[in-house]
Amino acid sequence: MRNDLELLLKLQVIDYDLGELERSKDYLPDMMENLNREIEDSKRTVVDIAAALDEARTSRKTLELNVQTKEAELQKYQQQMMSIKTNKEYDALVAQIDNIKAAISSGETELLETMEKIEQLEQEIVTSREKEASVVENNQRQLQVLQEKMDSIGDKALAKNQSRREVVAGISRPAMSTYERVRRGRGGRAVVIVKKNACSSCFKALTPRKIQEIKRGDKVLTCDFCGCLLYWDEDGSS
């Protein structure tokens, strides 16, 4: 029976590794998806800033043209002041000139704000492109590693299952049946070492009689409290 327990300990390690490989099939694709999403987000940020910059530059040209047009109109009306003959004509022309001056002032203010926005966006796009390059480089490196892990899962699982079959072949049927039952109930952990005369799973103290039975190793014994299979290790059980 001690041989059964020793093999069951080996089997437990193999089953844990198989469980990790199975879990890898779930979390590795999620990790890869997150890395790809980061790459796409960084690229989209650059595209959005570049679009905003193009729009701001186009707006600046339009505003500059509008201001130039208004300034030309202002100059024309100011020249007309020289030929004014009546107060009515004078008042009307002054009103037009005031309106044009207000439009020029408003246009110049908007133009200044647009130029400041352009400057800000030019700085942002430099930063965002640097970040994009860094994200792409780092994430692609990680994606390559994760893809290699994904590709190797099948081979590793085949090797582990082969090892499992070899180990199971040496375990008695009753011991194997108990192991599988406990493993299902305990979420994977079935065989535990006795430590300080207690079960190392639930930490409940074992009776002296049970300790002696475990030490003999002539049958598979389980903890009365948590059900785990108990194993006495001369080096670790102290």
Identify the pLDDT of residue 237: 58
Q: Among all chains, which residue has been given the structure tokens 């600046």? A: 60
List of domains in the chain: 27-151 (1.10.287.1490), 173-231 (no CATH)
Mean pLDDT for the chain overall: 92
Q: Check whether 238 has a pLDDT greater than 80.
A: no
Identify the pLDDT of residue 152: 93
Pick from 110-124, 174-188, 195-209: least confident: 174-188
CB 29 within 8 A of CB 203: no
DSSP state string for 101-157: HHHHHHHHHHHHHHHHHHHHHHHHHHHHHHHHHHHHHHHHHHHHHHHHHHHHHHHHH
- When pLDDT is cut at 50, 70 and 90, the band that residue 65 belongs to is very high
Look up residue 167 and give its two tokens: 């180990």
> What's the mean pLDDT in 203-231?
90
**Above pLDDT 90, what percent of the chain?**
74
Q: Check whether 46 has a pLDDT greater than 60.
A: yes
Q: Check whether 236 has a pLDDT greater than 70.
A: no
Identify the pLDDT of residue 235: 66
Could you tell me the CA-to-CA distances from 169 to 37, 72, 159 in Å, in that order? 47, 99, 16
Identify the pLDDT of residue 188: 75
Q: Check whether 47 has a pLDDT greater than 70.
A: yes
Q: What H or E segment, with its residue span, contains residue 231?
A: strand 229-231
Record the pTM.
0.65
Identify the pLDDT of residue 216: 86
- When pLDDT is cut at 50, 70 and 90, the band that residue 189 belongs to is confident
pLDDT one-digit tens code per residue, 147-187: 999 999 999 999 999 999 999 999 999 899 989 999 888 77
